[in-house]
C-alpha cells in the first residue's frame, strides 16, 4: 500500500534539491504532487522528471499575492490540500560586517515571513487531517560564522511549527518541522562561490559532521514522507532532526 495514495501534496521550492527529492518520493508513494518556485523553466523540467502528472506553479514566497494565486489555482484544480511541505528557502552567508539591510530582508522575507504566509494563506485549502511540514535547519540553535541571520530565521521556523500546531489542532491539522543538517544540494552554489570554494566547504563540513559526510536530498525526503504520512499521526509541533549527529553528538 502506498503511503500517500490519493493525497494532494504541495511542496514549495519543489524544483530543486531537497524539495525535488521529496516531490519524487511523494509521487512514487501515490500523491498528486504540485511543486512551486520562482523559475518557470526549472519547474517545468522538474515536473517532467517527477512524472505522475506532477504540476509546477510559479510562485514567489516573498510575494503574498503570488502565494495566494498559487493556492487559488491548486484549490480550483484539486480541491483540498492534504500535505503541505513548506520548503522554499535561501541560505546566503556573509561576514557580519558585510550584511546589508537588503540581504537581511531577503533572508528574512524568504525564510521567515515567506514560511508564515505560505501556511496562513493555505488555511482555506487545507483538508481536515492535513499534515503541514516546515523546514528549519540544524543551525537553528548553533552559531555558524556568517549565518547568524539565516540561523535566526530557522529558529523562528521551529517556533512557528509549535505556534501553528496549537492554532490548527482543532481542525486536526498537524504541523511539524524537519531540521536537516548539511545536505548536498544546489543551495551550496547559490551564494556566488566558485566550484572550488564550494567543494572545499563541503569537504570541511564532512570533517566536522559526526557521520563524516553530508546528507542527501533522498534521505531528507524520507523524513518528510514520515511526517506527511499517517505513521506520524501522534506528532504535533515536533521537530525531526536529520543531521548526521551535528546537534546531538
Ligand atoms: P535549493 O537551493 O536546492 O532549493 C531551494 C528551493 O527554494 C528552490 O526550489 C527555489 O526555487 C526555492 N526558492 C528560493 N527562494 C524562493 C522564493 N522567494 N519563492 C519561492 N521559492 C523559492 O536548496 P535546498 O534544497 O538545499 O533547501 C531546501 C530547504 O532546506 C531550504 O529551506 C533550506 O534552508 C533548507 N535546508 C537546507 C540545508 C542544506 O544543507 N541543503 C540544510 C538545512 C536546511 P526557485 O529558485 O525557482 O525560486
At residue 154, φ and ψ (nearest 5 deg) are -75, -30
ipTM: 0.99
Are the CB atoms for 55 and 79 separated by under 8 Å? no
* Per annotation, catalytic residue among 125, 150, 204, 234: 150
**What does the block give as the cell for 28?**
512514487
How far is it, in rounded angstroms, from Cα 109 to Cα 176? 21
**What does the block give as the cell for 94?**
556573509
Domains and CATH numbers, the chain: 8-185+216-241 (3.40.50.720)
How far is it, in rounded angstroms, from Cα 45 to Cα 41? 6
Closest CA to 64 of 121, 13, 10: 121
- Model pLDDT for residues 9-32, shown as the tens digit of each residue: 999 999 999 999 999 999 999 999
What distances in angstroms separate CA 216 from CA 79, 96, 159, 192, 213, one per listed residue? 32, 29, 25, 22, 9
Q: Is the CB of 180 under 6 A from ligand 1?
A: yes
pTM over 0.90? The answer is: yes
Closest CA to 81 of 36, 39, 127, 119: 127
Is 247's pLDDT higher than 90?
no
How far is it, in rounded angstroms, from Cα 236 to Cα 36? 25
Q: Is the CB of 135 under 6 A from ligand 1?
A: yes
User: pLDDT-derived band of residue 191, with 50, 70 and 90 as boundaries?
Assistant: confident
User: pLDDT-derived band of residue 130, with 50, 70 and 90 as boundaries?
Assistant: very high
Average pLDDT, rounded, for the chain: 97
Q: Is the CB of 153 under 6 A from ligand 1?
A: no
User: pLDDT-derived band of residue 156, with 50, 70 and 90 as boundaries?
Assistant: very high
Mutate to test the pocket of ligand 1, among 21, 25, 37, 133 (most ligand atoms within 8 A of CB): 37
Taking residues 114-120, report their average pLDDT.
99
Chain-centre distance for alpha carbon 71: 17
pLDDT, residue 220, reads 99
How far is it, in rounded angstroms, from Cα 35 to Cα 81? 12
Active site residue 147: no
Nearest-5° Cα angle at 94, 35 to 219: 40
- Percent of the chain at pLDDT > 70 equals 100
- Model pLDDT for residues 66-110, shown as the tens digit of each residue: 999 999 999 999 999 999 999 999 999 999 999 999 999 999 999
- Spatial strand order of the sheet with 55-58 comes to 55-58, 32-37, 8-12, 81-86, 126-135, 174-180, 239-242
- Model pLDDT for residues 32-58, shown as the tens digit of each residue: 999 999 999 999 999 999 999 999 999
DSSP classification of residue 215: B
Amino acid at each position: 500500500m502506498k503511503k500517500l495514495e490519493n493525497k494532494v501534496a504541495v511542496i514549495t521550492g519543489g524544483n530543486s534539491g531537497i524539495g525535488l527529492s521529496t516531490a519524487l518520493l511523494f509521487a512514487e508513494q501515490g500523491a498528486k504532487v504540485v511543486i512551486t518556485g520562482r523559475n518557470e523553466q526549472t519547474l517545468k523540467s522538474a515536473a517532467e522528471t517527477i512524472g505522475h502528472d506532477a504540476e509546477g506553479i510559479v510562485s514567489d514566497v516573498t510575494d503574498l499575492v503570488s502565494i495566494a494565486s498559487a493556492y487559488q489555482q491548486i484549490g480550483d484544480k484539486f480541491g483540498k490540500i492534504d500535505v503541505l511541505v513548506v520548503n522554499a528557502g535561501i541560505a546566503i552567508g556573509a561576514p557580519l560586517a558585510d550584511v546589508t539591510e537588503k540581504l537581511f530582508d531577503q533572508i528574512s522575507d524568504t525564510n521567515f515571513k515567506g514560511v508564515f504566509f505560505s501556511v496562513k494563506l493555505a488555511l482555506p485549502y487545507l483538508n481536515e487531517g492535513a499534515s503541514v511540514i516546515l523546514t528549519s535547519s540544524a543551525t537553528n540553535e548553533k552559531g555558524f560564522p556568517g549565518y547568524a541571520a539565516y540561523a535566526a530565521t530557522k529558529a523562528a521556523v521551529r517556533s512557528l511549527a509549535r505556534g501553528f500546531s496549537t492554532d490548527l489542532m482543532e481542525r486536526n491539522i498537524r504541523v511539524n518541522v524537519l531540521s536537516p543538517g548539511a545536505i548536498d544540494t544546489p543551495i551550496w552554489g547559490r551564494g556566488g562561490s566558485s566550484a572550488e570554494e564550494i567543494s572545499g566547504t563541503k569537504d570541511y563540513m564532512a570533517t566536522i559532521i559526526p557521520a563524516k559526510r553530508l546528507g542527501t536530498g533522498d534521505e531528507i525526503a524520507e523524513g518528510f514522507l514520515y511526517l506527511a504520512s499517517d505513521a506520524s499521526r501522534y506528532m504535533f509541533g515536533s521537530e525531526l532532526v536529520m543531521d548526521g549527529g551535528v546537534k546531538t553528538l
